[in-house]
Structures are given as structure tokens and as C-alpha cells.
Structure 1
Amino acid sequence: MSDSASVDIAGLAPAVKAALLEVLIHGELPRAEIARRLNLSRASLTRITRTLVDAGLLAEGGTRLMAQTGRPSEMLILQPQARHVLGIKLTGDVLYATVTDLSATAVASRELRLPSPDPADVVAEIAGVAREFSAEYPDIVAVGIAIAGRVRQDRAGAVVEVSAFLDWTDVPLGAMVTEATGLPCSVENDVRALTVTEHWFGAGTGLDDMALITVGVGIGCGLVVNGRLVEGAHARAGQLSHLIVDDAGPYCDLGHRGCATSMLVNSAIVGAYRVAGVDYEGVVAAARAGDAVARAIFADAGRALGVLVASVANLTDPQKIVLTGDGIAVVELAGDAMRAEIARRLDTEAVDVDIDVRLWDFSEWARAGAGLAIRDMLS
């Protein structure tokens, strides 16, 4: 590892992190603009940028004439390949791993079956993957883990309070992974991790207010308000799964009639189709082929999604709502029904909702873990 690569990003001074973050999120910027945004003197910015250039994190580019001053200003450019991070997504039986650079661009991925859900076995697998990737990327500086469930942040590290898929309760995953890998480890609910990553590196780049809704095996919602991820008093913000969307709808497993889960998640769509041996992909294929029953089921699901989108828009007034997840075919198959329901339920004075539909790959969850680790290094 080079001397520049040995510089600890997490240990940089707050002002240095702030300057790096500006370029990370907004792309190449002139020195004068960074100084203006951070309210820094020219001398202070010179010291800060020298630290970042010497660390290999920024590079000095050419000059650009700035309209505000009429004078040329030197550009600073992120060197994303200067460090790498390891992102992990855990399901009940599979570990997805992705290495990204500092711009959360994936450079390598793999997946493997977990030998068991026992925390010690899972951590051993994470450590093994970290060792394998470190052979090619010796500058991996952090691990980020996205997990379905509830996570709390303790002084000793992140603790998984509950994860139903893994049958975990109060597992100190952050500390365990740090001990096994020697790397700082961030852990967060998978939807929140994905929201962070979309906010910094995806559809929400540069926005102060956005929402993300995931549709698939379950329903998730992440919110960013005034530039900050909303967690809530009990780390449970964004609970939309059992919002009632149709008083005459079917019942979910918890006995709620017409909630979003009863109409929108993949298993609900399969259950409504009622054809033995047909899974979610099969119902999607049937709808695409014009099957009237399948299309009617997706129309109901589209209306349910429209209720959720309108509810989030009315409550938080975001600049953008990102829709994604392994059940995102609902937008393709029932986009008109979704949009009609949004229009019907939006406040009369509401601004039209900017909806960004993102195609889905399951490795995005692992990339979200990497984005989380990058955020925590610079927070």
C-alpha cells in the first residue's frame, strides 16, 4: 500500500472531510466554489486541498473561467479509485458482496450461500470474502452491511435488534465484523442504506428532499428531508407496509384488510393469481402476454402503489420519489393505474410528483452497503 493510500479517511479533520464530500457528491468543482460553499478562506482551502491531493483522494485539474468572478479557478477532481469499500447484503441464506470505489461504482461482485444463519458463521463468511477481495483491492478501507430488519447504533458498533430472515435478536454485528476483518463496519436497515446510496450517488444526487419506495418481497420506504436521512424516534420511520389502500381489499397475514402488503408484495400477487406452480415471474410473464386475470391483479397493485406514492408526497413534499425493488414490474404493467391513483389522491395544491423508476438488480443491495460505509467514513 502506498503512503497516500495509508491515509485514514475517517480520521481526517471535519473541514477536510467536508471538502472531499462536496466533490464526491457534486463532481469536479473549482476551488473558489468549494471555499464559498464551506465558508473557508483561500489559505484554509489551500491547506485542505493539499491534504486531499497528497492522500490521492483529489487531483488538480485545469482552470475554468467562473462567471461570478470573471477569473479562472482551478478545478478539483475526485480520484474514486484511490480507495475501495466492501458492501454486503445478507438474506436468510445468501451473502451478496460488492466492491466499489469511492463513487459507489461497483468494480467486483460475488454471491455465496451461507452455511447457516448463526452469527459466528455469517461473520466468518464476511471475513473470508473480505480476505479474497483484498488480494486484488488491498486498499479496501471499510465494510458496509445492508440487512432487512431493525438496527440500532451503539458506542461499540451497530447492533441488529431484529432480523426475521436470519432469526437474529440483538446481534452486535458491527463489532463482530470489525474484530474479524480489522476494518470499520457500518450496518443499517437495507432500505435506509439504499436510500443513503441513491441520495449521494444515484437518482437523488444534489437533492435535499427525496423519498425511496421499494416493492418486492416486502415494501420499504426511506426518506431524506433537508439533506438528512429520517430515522424517527424509534428508528422506524417510513413504515408503509400496512397502510390501508383499499377498504374492500384482501386480508394480509396480520389480519389487516386492504393494506399495501395484501395487494402489492410479490407473494400477494402470486396468491391472487391462484394458479398452482406459478411464481411471481410467471405472473409477470402472463401479464405481459395479455392474461386478463394477471393484468387485473397488477392493476390493483398499481393502484396500491399509487396510494403509497401520493401519501408520501402529501406528507413530505419531496423533490423526487424513487421507485425500485424486485417487484418494480408493477410500474411497467400498471403505470397508468398508479399515476391515476396518485392524481386522485394528491393534495389539490401539490406540485406534480417527480417519479424516477430504477431498474433492479439484487446486487444493488450490496452496493447500498458500500454507499453506507462511504457515508459513515465522511460523516
Structure 2
Amino acid sequence: MTTHAASWLPLSTGERSVAIEVLVHGPLSRTELARRLCLSAGSLTRLTKPLIESGLLIEVAEAGAGLGSGSGSAEVRQGRPSQPLDVVAESRSFVGFKITADMVYGVVTTLRSDIVARHDRPLESREPDRVADLLAEMTKELTHAHQGLAGIGIGVGGLVENRTVVRESPFLLWRDVPLAELVRERTGLPVVVENDVAALVEAETWFGAGRGLDRFVVLTIGAGIGYGLVQGGRRVPNAEEDRGFGRHWILAPDGPLTPDGERGSAVSLLTIGNIRYQINAATGRDHSYEEILALAAAGTPGPARVIGEAARALGILVAHIANFAMPQKILLAGEGVGLMDVAGDTVEETVRTHRHPLAPRVALETKVSDFHDWARGAAVLAIQVLVLGPAQT
């Protein structure tokens, strides 16, 4: 299966800036585009003309026709109609994969990262060639009904170098696996590989909760703890991505000692596996995370205590991040955020306790993420490669 993807690389820097602004924020009027990019009307016309002629941008019906009043509406109608510009989101498709220890979750997205198909397969072997074979098979299955396939993004829990080689993945027991090359050989498509948290941060920065923000943080809780910082609208690369964030961040010195993480660390207190471990150690029974949350909500003493400690730990962690990074928003995501439904008040109260009394309220947004959201994040990596080129991502 070999497919060749068109790219945006022939575009000039100015043309690409216009196209990206419309992709991420559109549809946008020419007036709004000029304002956002600090361009004169003439410069914008010069930049948009080839984009429209090539079909990359199209003029769409003006949303909310009739909005505005007085001289503003009259001025619009005196000259050429100011039709908003947009991209054709369905013109290209992208595949995103999230690889876990025992499953591969796959999605197909549009150019704007909207998921249009899902397909999951069990990971029966962690041998790199077998995994690459599986990803190629899934790509073929996912895209038989979708045209214009332009790239593949893959998210893994681990340390990734140059968005091509998985240097270390504790979940897959991998070291120095050239995953991008293995999948590209089997599909003929551009392939980008990245740490899964980094991929999620990119997706939320371009198309999600962080869109348009200068300073933004993503904090994930689930099997582990992930952290991503956006500064100046761009993700700050982190040399310690998935090398143990939170294992040594002590939030409660007298807190629990668990198999993973130091005593009282963020990992010991907040990850799903360690919460389940605490309940099992106390009761001798194995409960799912959802069962523990339900028992805590019902006031069952053991689960209520563990979840209460987790909520206070999360509040301290959020407060510390807000105090030092000063983000405009913190997005709390991952499979463990059901904690907020049961103990969100405790989290909020703890955040306030660990902030200056005059500090502004932390804008904390919660997003329950499943593995398809992580796969979507990987697809956004492929979108970025198409739009920006490999050297700029």
C-alpha cells in the first residue's frame, strides 16, 4: 500500500501563516485575518489570492448574515462582499494511533482533527516489526472509505527522539526502535512519532482548550502523570517527558508508599494503579477505579479517605503549577479525571489554600479523555507535518 501525500511546503511563510490562521480559527473574514496577522488589506489580498486559486482556501457563505447594524453593515455591502475564508476540512485525511501495552487505538481525522472513524486492535505482540505490520493493516482498514490520506501520527508512552525513534518505552519494553521508518516502509506515507502527552498537548494547543492562548498547561492523570507547558503559543519541549514526571514531586511527606513513586509523591497519590493498590492493601479486594470512585462518593470510609487524599494532592499540584508557570488555563485530562466528579470541591478548596489570597482563580478545565482522544492527538502531529513541514514541527 503506497500513497503519496500533497503538502503545504510550496507556500511562502506569509501564505502559510494565513492558511494556518484559517485552519485553526476559521472561517475568518479578511478584515479579521488582517487584524490577527497585523497585515494591510493589500498585503492580505496578495497572500490570499494564490491560496484561493489553488483551492486551499475557499470563500464560504457569511455566517450570521445580517449581523451588525448601522453604517457597519452598509459599508460591507458598498464594496466587494466580505465573504469569510475557510479550508476544506474534508479535503485530506489523517490517521492517528495510540499504542498502549496491550491495545492499539486508531482514528481517522479531517484536516481540523475531527474524528470520522475509529478502529482498535489488540496488541498481540510487542515485537517492533509485528507492531509496524499491525499499524499498516489498521491504516488500510481505517482509510478504505476515506480519500486524500496525507499522513500518520503515532503516540507512545515513552521517550521519543526527533519524532522518529522510540528511545525508551517502559510500557512496550522498547529501546531504540525506529518506529517511523518501519511504518513508512509499509505504508509509503509520512509518519511522525511522539510522546503521547506531547501529542495531546499539540492537539489541545491547535484545536482544543489551549487554542489562542499564550500560556497553557495540560496535566494528565491516569496510568501515569503527564505534564505539558505551552509558552508563547508553542509547546515547550521537555527532556524528561515520560521519564517519571511526578514520581519525585512530594505532595504529602507522610503519604502512601506504593510500588511506583516515592512516598507521598504525585504518582503514589494520583495514578489509577496506585489508588487501586492502596484500596487492595487495605481491604484485600481488587476494585476498579470506577468502583473506588463510586464507593468514595457513597462515603465508604477506606475509599473516601484515599480519594480525599488524592483530591488534596491534585489541588496542591495544580496550585504549584499555577504559582510557577502562571498559565491562563490548566487543562486536566486523562482517564483518571473522574476524580473531579467525586471530589472536585476538595480539589478547588485545596488550590485556593495553596495560592495567595489575592491570586486570580485558576482557570481549570476538565476533559475526560479516552484513548481515541490520545490517538487524535497523534493525528494532529501528522496535520502539523503537512502544514508546517517536518523541520518546523
Tell me: CA distance 1:236–1:262, structure 2 relative to 1, closer, same or farther (3 Å): closer
Q: Hey, what's the Cα distance between the residues in 1 that align with 2:322 and 2:176?
A: 34
Any runs of at least 4 consecutive aligned residues in structure 1 with deviations exceeding 6 A, and if so which? 64-67
Q: Output aligned runs, 1:285-296, within 5 Å.
A: 285-296=294-305
Tell me: CA distance 1:356–1:96, structure 2 relative to 1, closer, same or farther (3 Å): same
Match of 2:234 in 1: 228
Instruction: Tell me whether 1:284 sits opposite 2:283 in the alignment.
Output: no
Q: Hey, what's the Cα distance between the residues in 2 that align with 1:257 and 1:40?
A: 55
Instruction: Tell me whether 1:253 sits opposite 2:253 in the alignment.
Output: no
Tell me: CA distance 1:282–1:237, structure 2 relative to 1, closer, same or farther (3 Å): closer
**Secondary structure of 1:295's match?**
helix
- Structure 1 contact 117–166 (Cα < 8 Å) conserved: yes
When the two structures are superposed, what TM-score results if normalisation uses the length of structure 2?
A: 0.87
Instruction: Tell me whether 1:26 sits opposite 2:35 in the alignment.
Output: no
Q: Output aligned runs, 1:136-285, within 5 Å.
A: 136-153=145-162, 158-232=164-238, 239-253=245-259, 256-274=262-280, 275=283, 276-285=285-294
Q: Hey, what's the Cα distance between the residues in 2 that align with 1:40 and 1:243?
A: 46
Q: Output aligned runs, 1:1-379, within 5 Å.
A: 7-40=6-39, 42=41, 44-62=43-61, 70=72, 71-72=75-76, 73-153=82-162, 158-232=164-238, 239-253=245-259, 256-274=262-280, 275=283, 276-379=285-388
**For residues 233-255 of structure 1, what are the alpha-carbon distances to aligned partners after superposition, in whole Å with 9 as ceiling and x for unaligned?**
56679933431000111123356
Tell me: CA distance 1:176–1:10, structure 2 relative to 1, closer, same or farther (3 Å): farther
State the 1:132 CA deviation.
Answer: 2.1
Number of corresponding residues: 371
Q: Hey, what's the Cα distance between the residues in 1 that align with 2:9 and 2:300?
A: 54
Q: Hey, what's the Cα distance between the residues in 1 that align with 2:367 and 2:322?
A: 18
Q: Hey, what's the Cα distance between the residues in 2 that align with 1:297 and 1:321?
A: 24
Tell me: CA distance 1:377–1:254, structure 2 relative to 1, closer, same or farther (3 Å): same
Q: Hey, what's the Cα distance between the residues in 1 that align with 2:138 and 2:239?
A: 35
Question: Which has the higher mean CA deviation after the structures are superposed, 9-18 or 26-35?
Answer: 9-18
State the 1:27 CA deviation.
Answer: 2.0
Structure 2, unmatched stretches of 5+, are 77-81, 389-393
Q: Between the two proteins, what is the percent identity of the paired residues?
A: 39
When the two structures are superposed, what TM-score results if normalisation uses the length of structure 1?
A: 0.90
**For residues 82-141 of structure 1, what are the alpha-carbon distances to aligned partners after superposition, in whole Å with 9 as ceiling and x for unaligned?**
111111101112111000001111000010012311111111111111222332112110
Q: Hey, what's the Cα distance between the residues in 1 that align with 2:111 and 2:103?
A: 25
Question: Which has the higher mean CA deviation after the structures are superposed, 129-138 or 97-106?
Answer: 129-138
Tell me: CA distance 1:43–1:124, structure 2 relative to 1, closer, same or farther (3 Å): farther
State the 1:200 CA deviation.
Answer: 1.2
Give 1:98's aligned amino acid: V
Tell me: CA distance 1:41–1:175, structure 2 relative to 1, closer, same or farther (3 Å): farther
Structure 1, unmatched stretches of 5+, are none
Question: What RMSD over aligned residues (CA atoms) do the two structures have, in Å?
Answer: 2.5
- Structure 1 contact 57–82 (Cα < 8 Å) conserved: no
Q: Hey, what's the Cα distance between the residues in 2 that align with 1:133 and 1:56?
A: 26
**For residues 198-245 of structure 1, what are the alpha-carbon distances to aligned partners after superposition, in whole Å with 9 as ceiling and x for unaligned?**
111111121111101111111111110111101135667993343100
Question: Which has the higher mean CA deviation after the structures are superposed, 130-139 or 51-60?
Answer: 51-60
Q: Hey, what's the Cα distance between the residues in 1 that align with 2:105 and 2:360?
A: 39
- Structure 1 contact 100–370 (Cα < 8 Å) conserved: yes
Question: Which has the higher mean CA deviation after the structures are superposed, 213-222 or 38-47?
Answer: 38-47
Match of 2:79 in 1: none
Tell me: CA distance 1:98–1:349, structure 2 relative to 1, closer, same or farther (3 Å): same
Q: Hey, what's the Cα distance between the residues in 1 that align with 2:83 and 2:110?
A: 24
Q: Hey, what's the Cα distance between the residues in 1 that align with 2:309 and 2:239?
A: 33
State the 1:66 CA deviation.
Answer: 9.1
**Secondary structure of 2:369's match?**
coil
Tell me: CA distance 1:236–1:215, structure 2 relative to 1, closer, same or farther (3 Å): closer
- Structure 1 contact 151–189 (Cα < 8 Å) conserved: yes
